[in-house]
Amino acid sequence: MSERKVALVTGATRGIGKEIALELAKNGFDIAVNYRGTQDENLKKEIESNNVRCEFVEADVSNFEQCENMIKEAIEKYGRIDVLVNNAGITKDGLIMRMKKEDFEAVIDVNLVGTFNVTRNVIPYMIKQKSGRIINVSSVVGVAGNAGQTNYSASKAGVIGFTKSLAKEVASRNILVNAIAPGFIDTDMTKVLSDTVKEGINAQIPLKRMGTPKEVAKVVKFLASEDSSYVTGQVINIDGGMVM
Ligand code: NDP
């Protein structure tokens, strides 16, 4: 059994997930890094440089059985999971007239069903521990909508409904469930946008710039900490004022 608190972060090999894993490591959590594909030895070293443990646990979050095995593996390695961050996500943008059914389903399967798949397998352990924190990564697009992202915004709005329902369901077990809704954050996901599109988006943000993965990770750190012990069922926008 790990002496430190343990955080499992999905999709933690890049972007926002990686920064969340590093921020929680810096704050004394042992980290279970969910990945699909190849492990990143450099990330392991970076996490371990904070004098905490780092273990990689593989699963495609859209696959329930893989998630079941991943959680069993994490429990075998650490004996507990105190914080779950459902971060793994994808986009497959397109206007509805051109969107293929497979592209709609793929985004729902990773972003929404994936959140269920991992949470469903972690919850029994948190209930037994009588404590836990679940932080789901939604998006401002799940709150306000966005042309060309019907699949993505439906998945992220679904994550918000999931968060609020679960928060009500498990509050009596001392498990707090919240969502964050990042705006326009500088990662691989947004690198694909053209400079013109980026400039257009920045113009609509009161702070007039993209956010950084670190700025998102700091809010997750708060939601994982004792400082947020009376916060549950909430959606916290991290968007430079884009949606208010
Ligand atoms: P990136 O594309 O940079 O990283 C996505 C991460 O998710 C990668 O580690 C990827 O792994 C992993 N992943 C994708 N699909 C799966 C899967 N099926 N199983 C396991 N892991 C998977 O994205 P961001 O860091 O930008 O986004 C992280 C989260 O934040 C997402 O949920 C996204 O929707 C959300 N978000 C991002 C915003 C932004 O502006 N960037 C704004 C609002 C929300 P791999 O390396 O194997 O592909």
User: Which pLDDT tens digit goes with each residue over 120-168?
Assistant: 999 999 999 999 999 999 999 999 999 999 999 999 999 999 999 999 9
pTM score: 0.98
Residues in contact with 156: Cβ distance below 8 Å, sequence separation at least 6, in sequence order: 111, 138, 139, 141, 142, 181
Q: How far apart are CA 12 and CA 25, in angstroms?
A: 12
- The DSSP code sequence of 213-237 is HHHHHHHHHHHHSGGGTT--S-EEE
Residue 118, ligand 1, Cβ within 6 A: no
- The residues annotated with a catalytic role in the active site are 152
Find the mean pLDDT for residues 105-120: 99
Whether residue 173 is predicted with pLDDT greater than 90 in this model: the reply is: yes
Could you give phi then psi for residue 67, rounded to 5 degrees? -70, -40
CA of 172 to the centre of ligand 1 (A): 31
Residue 201, ligand 1, Cβ within 6 A: no
- The most distant pair of C-alpha atoms in the chain lies apart, rounded to whole Å, by 53
pLDDT category, 2, cuts 50, 70, 90? confident
Residue 205, ligand 1, Cβ within 6 A: no
Neighbours of 227 (CB within 10 A): 10
Whether residue 1 is predicted with pLDDT greater than 90 in this model: the reply is: no
One-letter amino acid at 157 equals A
